[in-house]
Amino acid sequence: MILILLGPPGAGKGTQAQRLEAKHGLVQLSTGDMLRAAVAEGSEVGLKAKVVMDKGELVSDEIMTAIISDRLNEADTKNGVILDGFPRTEAQAASLDEMLATKGLALNAVIEMKTDDDILVERITGRYTCANCGAGYHDSFLKPAVEGVCDKCGGTEFVRRSDDVAETVISRLKAYHEQTAPLLPYYRNKGILKQVDGMTGIDDVTRQIEAELQTI
């Protein structure tokens, strides 16, 4: 199965992708995570990307398409993937169609996580992740069972993203509305767009996505 989770920053794409990965054996391909790994390595791509990400703008289509194309050639993606953060522009969507067609594959569904902009700043500025395993948490909405200890791996160190500050979130939302939201009619016209209400609780969003997957 090949799924896209589409929605603005903070809509819950990463949270739900981790759950889909655990339940369905799909592989989460988060372009944001891949770029942050490149930044941490200090690679040439990472150095270029950091400047753009810290401004809340989009990294070039050329770089993003090359990253995803390489990743889709790896063996662990054969049983299916959840694309989290890609595509984000019409050019990326067209490249993805070409990549999949070359492999004789096609998208099964694009799930739009509908959210109002005004709650997203609170969601993003309260987010943190386990430094060891990457499990995601939130200061108010998703705390670990034992404060300061990761539910998944028992890690006790947590990190916050450098672009999770209010001013950058506003630029990221602008980029979403101007460059990514136009993909919604593109996928609606292909008949594969599904919508879930991303404003409800995390478990409820998971239930809505699972219900949509039953219709595929």
Q: Which residues bind ligand AP5 (CB under 6 A)?
A: 7, 9-15, 31-32, 35, 52-53, 56-59, 64, 85-86, 88, 92, 123-124, 126-127, 136, 138, 141-142, 172, 198, 201-202, 205
Active site (annotated) includes residue 127: yes
Chain position whose Cβ is nearest to ligand AP5: 32
Work out whether strand 81-84 and strand 27-30 pair parallel, antiparallel, or are unpaired: parallel
Active site (annotated) includes residue 194: no
As measured in angstroms, the least distance from the Cβ of 154 to ligand AP5 is 19
As measured in angstroms, the least distance from the Cβ of 114 to ligand AP5 is 11
Active site (annotated) includes residue 71: no
| Distance from C-alpha of 214 to C-alpha of 208, rounded to nearest angstrom | 10
Active-site entry in 13, 19, 50, 123: 13
As measured in angstroms, the least distance from the Cβ of 72 to ligand AP5 is 14
Length in residues, the chain: 216
The number of beta carbons lying within 10 Å of the beta carbon of residue 153 is 13
Query: CA 200, 192, 80, 74 torsion: positive or negative?
Result: negative
Q: For ligand AP5, which is the closer residue by CB, 85 or 144?
A: 85
As measured in angstroms, the least distance from the Cβ of 119 to ligand AP5 is 8
Are the C-beta atoms of residues 79 and 29 closer than 8 Å to each other? no
Q: For ligand AP5, which is the closer residue by CB, 184 or 191?
A: 184
Active site (annotated) includes residue 36: no
Q: For ligand AP5, which is the closer residue by CB, 12 or 144?
A: 12
Active site (annotated) includes residue 207: no
Output DSSP code: residue 77.
G
Beta-carbon contacts of residue 12 (< 8 Å; ≥ 6 apart):
113, 115, 123, 198, 202, 205
Q: In what side-by-side order are the strands of the sheet with 158-159?
A: 136-138, 127-130, 158-159
Q: Which residues are catalytic?
A: 13, 88, 127, 161, 172
